[in-house]
Amino acid sequence: MNVDLACGELAFLDLTFAGLDALPRRGEERHAHDLLRSPGGGAITAIGAARLGLTTVLVSPIGGDAEGDFLRAALAAEGVRWAGRTVARSAVTAVLPAEGERTMATFDPGEEVTAAELAAVAPAAVVLSLPRLPLAPEGAAVYATVGDAEARDGAAATSELDDARALIVNEREAELLTGEPDAGTAARRLAERTPCAVVTIGAAGALAAAGDELVRAPGHPSIVAVDTTGAGDLFTAAYVWADRLGASLQERLTWAVLYAALSVRVPTAVGGAVTQSALAEAGAQHGLAPPARRSPVPMKEEAR
């Protein structure tokens, strides 16, 4: 089985309290209209990539509990192969979205993917957060991401970015990593450490620095955000999809911004992850032609 993409980030079960009229303040109780279960964490990127037509594997420990049973069944239904190991308990996040914002509370049992598990999959590309970059299989194109806690810690693992095809972060993470006050300057600073630094800037879109080039893709402010959970994960999925098709940096950004924007219209990240045909239809409405499949991009080729 040829694997286009392996996602090496921990999978969570997301419990989304949908339909809150506002986020609870300290000591306050609010009622949701619905409670939804969906795959979260690394499973979001894996499912998004699969819906876009990539052969995708999730390499993550998942619990041998009811939550784990749900996750494995959901992945199988999406055609995502699970190549992790069974552990005692699954990671769970409670998500409270309201008014375009969200708060989250997470239980993480502390289990981690291993280098051997990733290597056994032999993927063409892999998505890994900064602390996990040393686990990347040899020869795989690496798309690096950052978590909020890692960005606050200064992410010493940025020294591993020389061989990454791209670093994908949000504006807050970029500014924390560099100390720079704006996304453009932060992207240029990060591009000194990696061939391509991509910074998402919420509803305003995204920008990327590669060498001396700074590319921007505008957002879609007319789209009303219901739940922004996982938008960054789906941006990453679409960026990898476009890159694997040989798209230019501008095309990668444009398609990834659109994919992420489409995802926030409904509760849960997976609920908003559209298929390749739906993305192409939305792109056509914006005058975009889907990137034609070309030969796989050489791993060490310049990011531009």
Distance CA(88)–CA(136), nearest Å, equals: 25
Asked if residues 254 and 288 have their Cβ atoms less than 8 Å apart, the reply is yes
Alpha helices in the chain (DSSP H): 42-51, 66-77, 115-121, 148-152, 171-178, 183-190, 231-244, 249-263, 269-272, 276-285
Distance CA(147)–CA(155), nearest Å, equals: 9
Q: Which residues of the chain have pLDDT under 70?
A: 1, 154-159, 292-304
pLDDT at residue number 294? 54
pLDDT at residue number 165? 96
Distance CA(18)–CA(59), nearest Å, equals: 29
Token match 């720079």: residue?
A: 180
The per-residue DSSP string of 225-243 comes to PS--TTHHHHHHHHHHHHH
pLDDT at residue number 290? 81
Crossing angle, helix 231-244 and helix 249-263, to 10 degrees? Answer: 150
Order of strands across the sheet that contains 141-145: 81-82, 56-58, 3-7, 123-129, 141-145, 166-170, 197-200, 205-210, 213-218
**How many residues appear in the chain?**
304
Q: Which amino acid is at 30?
A: R
Annotation: CATH topology of 3-11+42-84+111-285: UDP-N-acetylmuramoyl-L-alanine:D-glutamate ligase (3.40.1190)
pLDDT at residue number 299? 39
All structural domains of the chain with their residue ranges: 3-11+42-84+111-285
pLDDT at residue number 99? 78
Task: List phi, psi (to 5°) of 61.
Answer: -65, 140
Read off the tokens for 214: 């700074």
